Amino acid sequence: MTACKTATSDAILAAVLKSLDENKAEEVVTISLKGKSEIGDHMVIGSGRSSRQVSAMAEKLVAQIKTDFGILSKIEGRTTGDWVLIDTGDVIVHLFRPEVREFYQLEKMWQPGMGPATTE
């Protein structure tokens, strides 16, 4: 049995970003949630060119996190591959097809001054 790496939120984030890079994720954005939300320390948003690629990236990411850290991530939306949510505990990952990502514009909710409570 192999020893697992230390599962700090920064170590998990680094593993997530490495996996997404290796699997050709596009337009990857990292948002710090520290002090903003209790759901985790980091949010990662990325795109795949097709539903099939999005689902495959999600499967590989979940497997990598399990291998590296022994974490069984929660995963939603993998069967359709339009928007897949992966919850590792400290890092929340959203993988989208480009059209779905554009429609929801999730990153705008979490960037300073762009949230739904902002009025102009």
Average pLDDT of span 60-83 = 95
Round to whole Å and give the CA distance between 89 and 33.
Answer: 12
Provide the edge-to-edge strand list for the sheet that holds 26-32. 26-32, 42-47, 91-96, 83-87, 74-76
pTM comes to: 0.87
Nearest to 33 by CA among 111, 120, 118: 111
- Cβ–Cβ under 8 Å, residues 71 and 65: yes
| DSSP states of 29-44 | EEEE-TTT-SS-SEEE
pLDDT attached to residue 112: 62
Q: How confident is the model at residue 120 (pLDDT cuts 50, 70, 90)?
A: very low
Query: Tens digits of per-residue pLDDT, 17-65?
Result: 999 999 999 999 999 988 888 888 999 999 999 999 999 999 999 999 9
E strand segments, the chain: 26-32, 42-47, 74-76, 83-87, 91-96
Please check the confidence at residue 116 and state whether its pLDDT lies above 70.
no
Domain boundaries, the chain: 23-110
Say which CATH superfamily domain 23-110 falls into.
Answer: Beta Polymerase, domain 2 (3.30.460.10)
Residue entry with tokens 């939603």? 76
pLDDT attached to residue 119: 35
